[in-house]
Structure 1
């Protein structure tokens, strides 16, 4: 119970520390936007606070494999649209999403893969950079990114940054998004056998299962304070550690109270227990 409560507290504290909620758009009496209103989109995270765990350097040849898979997915989407128009099959939800893949989307994905290969996975281009690199319009780039994210080729994270401005308090503005290219699992069915990832051996699957079970067992043995220290560090970790220590003391106090004052048994339970005892044998002379 304590771990569950602390987990909820950790999630709320981490979300509040990393994400900056968009400020309400206030308007002056004249109807113009309020000068102090911050233009930060929903679900944005401050730049510089998460990139180390978000970006993943691609393995050798991985970007080329993902680009070939995207081109195969483009051909598969065209074939699915053709069969659906001819009434040969009824598309599933995943197939309908795949049919939205366009040549412009694959071109944008190719540029993102190039940046991932050159920058060891650190990809955060602006819309203008992608439009210039691909010779596409800015609106086309924005639409292509939405298609790639819906299919599963991209994980996109909005970001904001602090800026210098007049007046009290910090100021924020939106900055370029962070991107991580991926290979959608739903696309593997449309790839030839030589392009599909090799299945894991049975011993490797069992090893990962055992590792997950050991990790869960270890986490279950941690106190609330130890759980907080293992989850976050820095000033936030110190605050959460104090919260976990307080929860530990509350749980220990509750356990001692339950041992000192055990819950009395109901009369009906006592009666049933006494009736279930074996009768004492009558002594014989």
Structure 2
């Protein structure tokens, strides 16, 4: 499963998965044109959540939480070894050392909500503070750590509200979250928690299929390739252009063949 928070200013993304991402540059806290504050990167509530949320499979939230706890232990061990001068750290390992018990506690609450609410995770900061007993600033830092490492994708939201005067007004509402398991932490989990590698014959079959597809694509004419890869109105236009290129190549081949025949007859 892949779930989380989507301040997806650049995450996941990804994610990802048909979710619209606002990449327009603006300052955090800038005023909306109507005068109501809307944070940068926010999307309007109830316009994208269907493609953002994902229903976890049975037992998946519990497995994801167990993975986060193993990652926390691994990060602490890496940090001890680094401070003792026993090893240097890669970029992903340095990120893992920033994982804290508070972050894992927040992750636990998010995975619980994912399990209970069929993947629809949008708690407010107040809920996370109340549910975990952590301070608001600790919750904020924990969410940032989870997002940077890749345990969550977070998306800010705003909603319309009634107000005096002309035009609609907007205000910030709770973020939505999708919970993830970063690939970088899989190696720190017990072997029994990891996905089994595909059998060797499956790799050979996939390789053989890829070679067959490549050979088929290479045998297509320009017209056929345009129809297959693009389609629609643009595909039709490109197919016409491809047909013209095919005709030109055929004429050049025929002319070359006639020239060879003429040379052989002359000799």
Q: TM-score, normalised on structure 1?
A: 0.65
> 2:179 aligned with 1:181, yes or no?
yes
In the TM superposition, what are the counterparts of 1:32-71 in structure 2 within 5 Å? 36-71=34-69
- Say which SS state the counterpart of residue 167 (structure 1) adopts: coil
Query: What value does the CA root-mean-square deviation take over the aligned residues?
Result: 4.1
> 1:20, 1:46 within 8 Å by CA — same for their partners in 2?
no
User: 1:156 is matched with which residue?
Assistant: 154
Q: Distance in 2 between the 1:63 and 1:101 partners?
A: 18
Could you list the runs of 5+ residues in structure 1 that have no partner in the other structure?
Answer: 1-13, 28-32, 226-244, 263-269
User: 2:228 is matched with which residue?
Assistant: 221
Q: Distance in 1 between the 2:198 and 2:155 partners?
A: 30
Q: Distance in 2 between the 1:164 and 1:196 partners?
A: 50
Label 1:221 to 1:93 Cα distance change in 2 as closer, same or farther (>3 A): same
Q: Distance in 1 between the 2:156 and 2:79 partners?
A: 32
Deviation at 1:167, TM superposition (A): 3.3
> 1:19, 1:46 within 8 Å by CA — same for their partners in 2?
no
User: 2:168 is matched with which residue?
Assistant: 170
Higher relative contact order (CA 8 A, sep 6+): 2
Greater shift, 17-26 or 52-61, is seen at 17-26
Q: Distance in 2 between the 1:180 and 1:140 partners?
A: 20
- Say which SS state the counterpart of residue 278 (structure 1) adopts: helix
Label 1:208 to 1:135 Cα distance change in 2 as closer, same or farther (>3 A): farther
Deviation at 1:38, TM superposition (A): 3.7
Q: 1:278 aligns with which of 253, 263, 267?
A: 263
Q: Distance in 2 between the 1:81 and 1:91 partners?
A: 9
Q: Distance in 2 between the 1:219 and 1:108 partners?
A: 50
In the TM superposition, what are the counterparts of 1:232-247 in structure 2 within 5 Å? 245=233, 247=234
- Say which SS state the counterpart of residue 115 (structure 1) adopts: helix
Could you list the runs of 5+ residues in structure 2 that have no partner in the other structure?
Answer: 1-17, 218-224, 249-254
